């Protein structure tokens, strides 16, 4: 879809009332076209092939084929940006998190769609989001290879080979921070599933998500990858495993403990990748590492630059593999000059040496 073209949206929703209200919200300004409404996933798959929409909204609970299976089919047969809409949130409902992990580019609770006031700011913000998502790149990620088969060929911003940290080898790391947004869940799965359960380096993650889905993502990832995956707890000691920032709280590292903070921060995100990565740079210095993955906006850029300035390892995902090349580009613009493909990032993480304690330099 060109930038000047109205997005063409296909709705898959089994509630006629919700589908009608969603259509009213989308078409309110006249610059989004709803090209079809389907009540089943089977019908949607047929219509996607025929109509070729720019974006699909997918109900996760459907009669017959469920939304998760529909997303998997869409991504394998007709790769199309897909926004999952769910009535169910919480740690026990992992179907939405699974849909994100297999390729849906975003998820929202149905309660957060401004059905009653399409003319209000919430309705306008939803339509802006639809327009951005409809232009997103749908990326297929390969399954991980064995560590011995992966070859990391990191590149700097000019495309020249260079190992992270500039020394030709990876120096010891005591903590790794990752931040991601749109398109992040499948990348997180891709990077984590090749690591053994005994991987010793703690991994702290900020993943921008709609409220209510972070815990279910942690539960789903915990089942899908060898490493234990949990939401972070305030005051917990830094320990091996993967720790996700909870909904609405900044995650930071102070010394050797995790800190959750709901205080004000001059930025649009809570949790914030910049808050996390700046704290890692302060606490771990040269033994810190940061990775900025796909997503819209600039979050994580200044934090990754701080890690690099502290002598740590800072990596940005390459443009070709990003769903949206906003956050990694901002990191590159901020001075992060190690750019990697997903396979290269996975190989680099697997090859990191563990520094048992944080090192300040």
Q: Which among 68, 9, 19 is positioned nearest to 39, based on CA atoms? A: 19
Q: Supply 222's token pair.
A: 């915990």
Name residue 107's beta-bridge partners.
84
Q: Supply 68's token pair.
A: 């998760």
Q: Using the Cα atoms of residue 95, residue 86, residue 179 and residue 69 in order, give the sign of their dihedral.
A: positive
CA of 276: how far to CAs of 153, 230, 323, 330, in Å? Answer: 27, 16, 22, 16
Omega prior to 124 cis, within 30 of 0: no
Contact 311, 361 (CB under 8 A): yes
Helix axes 342-350, 184-192, angle to 10 degrees: 40
Place of tokens 């891709």: 190
Chain centre distance of CA 188: 7
- Residues marked as catalytic: 181, 208, 299
């Amino acid at each position: 879809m060109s930038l000047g073209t109205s997005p063409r949206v296909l709705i898959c929703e089994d509630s006629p009332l919700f589908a009608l209200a969603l259509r009213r919200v989308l078409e309110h300004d006249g610059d989004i076209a709803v090209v079809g409404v389907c009540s089943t996933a089977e019908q949607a798959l047929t219509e996607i092939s025929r109509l070729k929409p720019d974006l699909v909204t997918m109900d996760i609970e459907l009669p017959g084929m469920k939304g998760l299976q529909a997303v998997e089919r869409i991504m394998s047969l007709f790769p199309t940006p897909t926004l999952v809409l769910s009535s169910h949130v919480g740690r026990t409902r992992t179907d939405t998190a699974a849909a994100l992990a297999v390729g849906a580019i975003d998820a929202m609770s149905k309660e957060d769609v401004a059905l009653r006031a399409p003319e209000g700011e919430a309705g306008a913000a939803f339509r802006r989001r639809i327009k951005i998502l409809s232009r997103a790149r749908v990326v297929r990620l390969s399954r991980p290879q064995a560590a011995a088969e992966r070859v990391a060929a990191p590149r700097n911003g000019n495309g020249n080979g260079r190992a992270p940290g500039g020394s030709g080898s990876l120096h010891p790391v005591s903590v790794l921070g990752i931040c991601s947004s749109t398109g992040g869940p499948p990348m997180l799965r891709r990077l984590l599933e090749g690591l053994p359960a005994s991987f010793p380096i703690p991994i702290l993650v900020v993943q921008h998500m709609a409220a209510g889905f972070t815990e279910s993502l942690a539960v789903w990832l915990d089942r899908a990858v060898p490493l234990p995956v949990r939401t972070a707890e305030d005051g917990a000691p830094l320990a091996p495993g993967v720790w996700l920032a909870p909904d609405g709280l900044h995650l930071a590292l102070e010394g050797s403990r995790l800190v959750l903070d709901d205080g004000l921060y001059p930025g649009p995100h809570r949790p914030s990748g910049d808050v996390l990565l700046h704290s890692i740079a302060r606490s771990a210095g040269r033994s810190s590492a940061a990775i900025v993955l796909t997503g819209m906006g600039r979050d994580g850029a200044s934090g990754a630059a701080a890690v690099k300035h502290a002598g740590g390892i800072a990596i940005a995902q390459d443009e070709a593999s990003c769903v949206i090349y906003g956050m990694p580009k901002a990191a590159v613009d901020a001075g992060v000059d190690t750019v990697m493909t997903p396979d290269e990032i996975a190989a680099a993480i697997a090859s990191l040496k563990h520094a048992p304690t944080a090192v300040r330099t």
